[in-house]
Every structure is written in C-alpha cells, then in structure tokens.
Chain A
Amino acid sequence: MAGLNTNNITPPRWLLAELSYKCPLQCPYCSNPLDYAKYPDELSTEQWQQVLSQARKMGAVQLGFSGGEPLTRPDLPILVKYARDLGYYSNLITSGYGLTEAKIIELKQAGLDHIQVSIQASTEELNDHLAGTKTYLQKQEVARLVKKHGYPMVLCVVIHRQNIHQMPQILEMAENLGADYLELANTQYYGWAHLNRDALLPTREQFIEAEKIAQDFKEKVAGKMKIYYVVPDFYEDRPKACMNGWGTTFLTIAPDGTALPCHSARELPGLDCPNIKDFSIEQIWNESKSFNFFRGTEWMQEPCRSCDEKHKDFGGCRCQAYLFNADMFSTDPVCSKSPERYRIDAAINTAKQQALSAEEKPLVFRNSKNSRQF
C-alpha cells in the first residue's frame, strides 16, 4: 500500500447509506454483494445518526438512502429528518414497493429532497419477471405520486440485453410519467450482474442502436428532461474514472456499518474495510488502510504508471481489474492499453454466443436462498 499522503486527502462529498440488504425485489443485476446473506446485521437508528452527523461535519452533502430497499427500515422518516436538519440533500433510491401516498407525504414533510424510482422495463410482463415480484403497476403509480407531491422525479432504468430492445418504449414511458430526470444505466458488471453477465450483456450492435435512440431523444427533450446515460464500459476503449478516484469523493456505509470506498469494494480481498462501530468517519476516511489503498497513483502498475491519462481515469475500476485479471492492482481490462483487454472481448463474444443460442442460461435471481450459496 502506497500513496499515503494525508495532506492531499479531499473530504467526502457523497454518502451512500445502504440501510438494509432486505429487498422485496430480486433483480438479477443487483449491485449488492453475492454473499449479502452473510451480513444480516443492521445499524441502529442512533448509529446511523452518528454516521450522518460525522460525515456531514467533514463536508458530505449529497446523501443517498439505498439498500436493498431502504423503505424496509421503519425509522426512515426519522433518519430523513435528521439528515435534513444537518443540511444534507437527500435522495431515496427505491423500488417503490410499499411506498404509499401517506408515506410520500410523511417523507416530504421530514425533508426528503428527491425520490429515485427504479423501473425494470416498459412492459408489466418483463418488469415483473426481472424484478421477481409483481411491482410494475405500483411503480407507475408511485412515479405519478412522487411528481404530484412536488419532488423532482427521477426514473432509473437499468439497461441490459433483456430490455435493451424496449429503449423507445422506455423513453416514451419516462416522458408520459413526466420524469424530470431519467437515468439510463447500462448495467455495470459487478455482484449479481457479474454472475449473470452472459445473459445480460447486450451485443455491440444492440448497444449502438439503443445509444443512438437515447441520444436523439436527449436532444428532443432538452430543457424538459435531463438524461443521465451511464455507458457500458465494455464497449469503450478507456476505463471509467471509477468513483471519481478512490477515497476522493464517495463514502458508502453498508447495512452492518462497514465503510466502503465503493459499494462493490467488499469483493476485493484483504482490504479489511473498517466498521463505524469501531472508528469515527474521520478516522476511517483519513487513516484507514482501505480508504488509502488506491489513493493517488503510487499503487499503479504498468501500463497505468507511465500513462499520461492516469489522472483522468485513475486506472479505472479496481473491482473490474480484480474480477477479470485476479489482480486488483492491474489496469482495468477495459482499457485498450491493457494487455488483458482480450478478456473483455472474450466476455463480449461469450455473451453474444449465448444471445444467439437456442438455450439461454437462466438468470440467477438475487434472493437470500441464492445468496447463501456464496
């Protein structure tokens, strides 16, 4: 571990509070760890308040209440109010399942700033299949209620091979629902999505066609709807600037209080991620081994080390390097300068073969029964 120059540490700006791994949905691309069932513990209300207050003091201002499904926590309105009083700008990242109009009003009064509702597909049949739960109609209703009660309405649709053909209908749905923001998130292949990659990764042709449709739509709705388009990095030749650089901006707290430099970091070996029950947020952010592990550029190997773009993408994603190359210090294999790029191309080809074959591998849904196998 190198790069321990504490003078250059910037404070956290974004806090992702994963309140619970419990979720009524079973999306096969969930970003939670595969073995989440091993971590059933959840922080108490008081412990979350301590996290919120310590992180806010350091300068965190954007706050996401996430999970699992954050609505499974009965103390959510208490935490929302606490966060508002501290000056956070807070976001509820929800499936919408179980979100009643009364709750939407209660959360608004408590000071919630916006609600991001996920929708899995533009049709009821596919949405409910992907979610593993009947939720489509309720999600549509929740989206309308979010708008009705004056929240900025953010729709999030995760894009992959099972729904990418619906791109025109997904955009039409977002327009009809009056979304202020639409997040078109091409699946990032970690956690459950990594496991199901062969069934989820679109072909290059599908991706190019869908991207064109989305770009045209973006121009059409400019000024009315803002579109966040998360690119699938497999089809890029440079890696994403993951987390805006390790330990520079983002802090994730998992349901059991484990502090993570990114929400997938639990997959990486030997990081010894600290718990908020043992250390303050300031100690965790500034002094812990895990938050300093990939700070700066000293940890890099070639070709990153001598690359003139290393301050732009920070070597890409550590989890992706680990998943593909079994070496978390290596260059993100997405990069065309990486000697391991062929692994990404092989993954693209394997998924394409799957797409063309008569017998597709079944999706492994994210639920406790499946999680216990890991």
Chain B
Amino acid sequence: MSINPELNLHFSTLHRLQWEEAQQKYVILYPEGMVELNQSSAEILKLCDGSRKLPEIITELEAAFATSGLASDITHFLEVALQNGWIEHK
C-alpha cells in the first residue's frame, strides 16, 4: 500500500496512540495487542492528526530535527503504518 501525497493522514479511530510513563515510550494499543514505538516512529505518527499530508509531515520533521533526506524513511514507515491500519487517508 502506498501513501497518497494528495490526502491528509489521520491516526486510526480503531487504535490508540499513547505515552506510557512506566515504559517511557509511546505505544499503539488495539484489541489484544500493543506495539512499542521508538522515538522517531512516534514523532511521525503524532503528526498524523488529520491536518497534514505526506509532504508536510516530511518538511515539518526535517525542520524539527534540523536535517534533510528523511523522505524515504518517513514514507516507508508510513506505508507500514497504513498496512497495519494505524493510519488512514482522510
């Protein structure tokens, strides 16, 4: 599944993204399961709030981390997220 750069991305209503104090990390919660996220994955998913498209997410993260060349990593991760049902096109 590939990301449509023309559409906004939002986090799935059937999953929950949450900071876990005890684990000191973000997790995705869903029926019968939990995925622990590393910091960069969590930062990407937090921007999937329905107000941004893929190019905006890339621009924003590259600015936040003062770096460039993140496009392929971010795109690849979002494709996985889409496949897993964590995010949806709006």
Q: Are A181 and B29 in contact (CB under 8 A)?
A: no
A180 touches B14 (CB 8 A): yes
Q: For residue B85, which residues in chain A have a CB less than 8 angstroms away from its CB?
A: 223
A3 within 8 A of B: no
A-B interface pairs (CB < 8 A), number:
44
Q: Which of B16, B23, B83 contacts A113 (CB 8 A)?
A: B16
Q: Residue-by-residue, is B50-81 near A (CB-CB < 8 Å gives 1, otherwise 0)?
A: 00000000000000000000000000000000
Q: CB distance A181 to B22 under 8 Å?
A: no
Say yes or no for A263: interface residue by CB 8 A criterion: no
Contact of B37 with A by CB under 8 A: no
Q: Please give, as numbers and ranges, the residues of chain B lying within 8 Å of A61 by CB-CB distance.
A: 18, 20, 22, 27, 29, 34
Q: Which residue of A lies closest to B15 (CB)?
A: A152
How far, in whole Å, are A229 and B14 apart by their CA atoms in the complex? 20
Closest to B29 in A: A89
Q: How far is the CA of A120 from the CA of B87 in the complex (A)?
A: 33
Q: Mark A142-158, 1 if CB is under 8 A from B, else 0.
A: 00000000101010000
> Are A87 and B31 closer than 8 Å at their CB atoms?
no
Check B13 for interface membership: any CB of A closer than 8 A. Answer: yes
Chain A CB within 10 Å, residue with most, of B13, B16, B22: B22
The answer, among A116, A183, A223, for a CB contact under 8 Å with B83, is A223
Chain A residues positioned under 8 Å from B18 (CB to CB): 61, 87, 89
Chain A residue nearest to B20 (CB atoms) is A61
Bound-state CA distance A150–B85 (Å) is 15
B29 touches A62 (CB 8 A): yes
Best-buried of A150, A152, A183 by chain B (most CB within 10 Å)? A152
CA distance A61 to B23 in the complex (A): 10
Question: Do A152 and B29 touch across chains, with their CB atoms under 8 A apart?
Answer: no
Given contacts A91-B31, A181-B32, contact A59 B16 (CB under 8 A): no
On chain B, the residues within 8 Å of A152 by CB distance are 14, 30-31
| Residues of B close to A114: CB separation below 8 A | 31
B23 touches A59 (CB 8 A): yes
Contact, CB under 8 Å: B22 / A89: no
| B22 touching A11, Cβ below 8 Å | yes
| Beta-carbon contact of B31 and A59 below 8 Å | no
Bound Cα distance from A152 to B83, whole angstroms: 17
Closest residue of chain A to B13, judged by CB?
A150
The docked-state distance in angstroms from the alpha carbon of A113 to that of B18 is 13
Alpha-carbon distance between A114 and B15 when the two chains are bound, in angstroms? 10
- Expressed in whole angstroms, the minimum distance between the Cβ of A158 and any Cβ of chain B is 15
Given A61-B20, A150-B13 in contact, is the A181-B34 Cβ separation under 8 Å?
Answer: no
Do A58 and B22 touch across chains, with their CB atoms under 8 A apart? yes
Task: Decide: A59 and B29 in contact? CB cutoff 8 A.
Answer: no
Q: How far is the CA of A175 from the CA of B31 in the complex (A)?
A: 18
Closest 6 pairs (CB-CB, A-B) = A59-B22, A89-B29, A152-B14, A114-B31, A154-B31, A181-B31
Could you list 16 examples of A-B contacts with CB < 8 Å?
Answer: A58-B22, A61-B18, A61-B27, A62-B29, A62-B32, A62-B34, A89-B30, A91-B31, A91-B32, A114-B31, A152-B14, A152-B31, A154-B32, A181-B32, A223-B83, A228-B32
Known pairs A61-B27, A228-B32; list 7 more (Cβ under 8 Å): A61-B18, A61-B22, A113-B31, A150-B13, A154-B31, A180-B14, A183-B32
